[in-house]
Amino acid sequence: MGYNLGLPFRNLTADAVGTVNTFLTDDMPLGGNDEHNGKWLHFSSGTNNTGLIRRVYDSAIDAGTGRVTLSFRPAITDATAIGDTAVLWQEDHNPTAIFDFINQAITDATGRVYDPVEDITLHADGKTSRFDIPTGISMIQKVQYRRNVNAAEVHFMERLFDETTDSDFTQALDTEDNRRGNSLKLTIGGDVGDGNFITDSFTALDLSGYTHLEGWTKASSTLAAADFVIHLDSGAVQANGTDLESLNVPATAAADTWTFHRIALANPESDTAIISIGLEYNANSGANTVHFDEWEATTNNSAIWADLPRHLWHIDKSTRDLVFDNGAVGIAGYSLLKLVGGDKPTLLTADATTSEIDDQYVIYRATALALMSLGGGNQTDLEDRFKRGATWMALAEGAKRSFPPLENVREVD
C-alpha cells in the first residue's frame, strides 16, 4: 500500500540508543532540521514497543554524521535500542487510518467471500432436532451425515465396570437418559479424590489401525477438559502413567447436557491388544453424576459422507441453531454430522495476522480508500488522488470477480 500511495513511508533502523521519546537513525542522511515534523512513527520491533504509533514533533540532523534524531510524543514503553525498527509515514497517512482501510476492505467483501470451514463436532442421535451451531461458522452450504466409517466397539457402556471398582463410584445402567441403548451412570460421592478410577476388562482389541476414540459424556456439574481421563491398556489399567493410552476427556458443553467427544489416539501403533478400559476422575473431583455412552474407535480417513437434503434442514438465526425436520432426524439417525460452510474473514490486528481473502483485492481497495479519503475538488486535490483512488477501486472490483462463486449459502449471522 505504501508503494501504491506514492512512497509515503520509509523503513528505519535505530543506529544509536535513544530514549522513550527519541529515535536515532542513519537511514535519512539528506534533508534538514524539522523536515519530518508531523510525520508518524510506527514501531515494528523493540521490546514492548512493537505496534506503537507516535507523532514526530521535532527532527534534527547532525550535519557531520548525517544521523537524524526524531523526537516524538507520547512516550513509548521502553527506550529505543540499537537495531529497533520503525516505519515513518507522511503526515497525511496516519498508520491507524491505513489499518482501518485494510479492515474496511475486508469487511466490504464479507458476504461475497468466506473463509472455508468444515466442522465435525456435532453428532446426531436419531432423536435431537436442534443443534447449536459451533462458533466460527457464519454460513452453511451443506449438512452431511457420516453414512459409514471403519469403527470398532471399545465399550458401549451397557454393562457395569467390575475389573477395578471404587466405593466412591456408585454404578448403574440408565435406560432412560442415554444416546443409544443404555448408558453408564456414575453417582460419585463427595469424598472422591483426584486419581480415583474404575476399570473394566474385555476381549482383546487391536486398535492399531484406528485414529480416534469417540463417545459421549454428560455430567450434572460441568466438566472441564481433563477432569476425566479414559485409559486403555494391554493389561489391567493402572491410571498411573503406564497405560498405553491416557486420553483427556474434553470439557462438557454445559451441565446436564450430552456432549460428543472425538479424541485422537496418542499411541495407536502400540494398541495391538487392548483388554482394559479405565475411567479416572483426574481433576476437580467432587460430588457429581456422570454418564458415559457409546465409546468406539474410528479411522479418520475412512468416513463416507452423504448430503442431507436441503429442504429437510434450516437455520434459526435468532438462536444460532441448526434445525432438522422429522425427515432429517430419521435420515441422519445416529451419525456424525459435517457442516460445510465458512466463517467471516478475520480482520487484521497485527503484522502477523494472515489475511483469509485475496491479498490483491485487499491492497487494491484499501489503497483506493486511502487515496479517496484525501481527495477533493480541483483546487485542493492537486495530486489528483481521488481520480487515482477510482483507478485502484476499479482494480479492486476486478479482483473481487476472482472470488470463488458462492452457491446454496444459508447465513448463520
Q: Is the pLDDT of residue 19 over 70?
A: yes
Residue 46 is predicted with a pLDDT of 86
Exposed e or buried b for every residue in 217-253, given b needs 16+ CB within 10 A? bbbeebbeeebbbbbbbbeebebeeebbbbbbbbbbe
Exposed e or buried b for every residue in 99-118, given b needs 16+ CB within 10 A? bbbbbbbbebbeeebbeebe
- The radius of gyration of the chain's CA atoms, rounded to the nearest angstrom, is 30
Is the CATH code 1.10.3470 the one for domain 9-93? no
The mean-pLDDT minimum among 200-209, 335-344, 358-367, 397-406 falls in 397-406
Candidates 75, 209, 72, 105; CA nearest to 150 is 209
> 3-class secondary structure for 244-288?
CEEEECCCCCCCCCCEEEEEECCCHHHCCCEEEEEEEECCCCCCE
Average pLDDT for 349-360:
84
Q: Do domains 9-93 and 151-302 have the same CATH topology?
A: no
Average pLDDT for 52-71:
95
Average pLDDT for 344-365:
88
pTM reported for the whole predicted model: 0.81
Residue 315 region by backbone torsions, left for phi larger than 0, else alpha for psi between -120 and 50, else beta: beta
Q: State the cell numbers at 145.
A: 451425515
Write phi, then psi, for 363 (nearest 5 degrees). Answer: -65, -45
Average pLDDT for 162-170:
97
Per-domain residue ranges for the chain? 9-93, 102-114+345-411, 115-149+304-343, 151-302
pLDDT digits (tens, 9 = 90+) for 65-98: 999 999 999 999 999 999 999 999 988 889 999 9
C-alpha dihedral sign at 36, 38, 43, 46: positive
Q: Is the pLDDT of residue 31 over 90?
A: no
Q: What is the DSSP letter of 301?
A: G
Q: Which CATH class is domain 151-302?
A: mainly beta
Output the CA torsion 304→310→312→315 (10° steps). 110
Residue 7 is predicted with a pLDDT of 66
Candidates 247, 239, 155, 164; CA nearest to 202 is 155
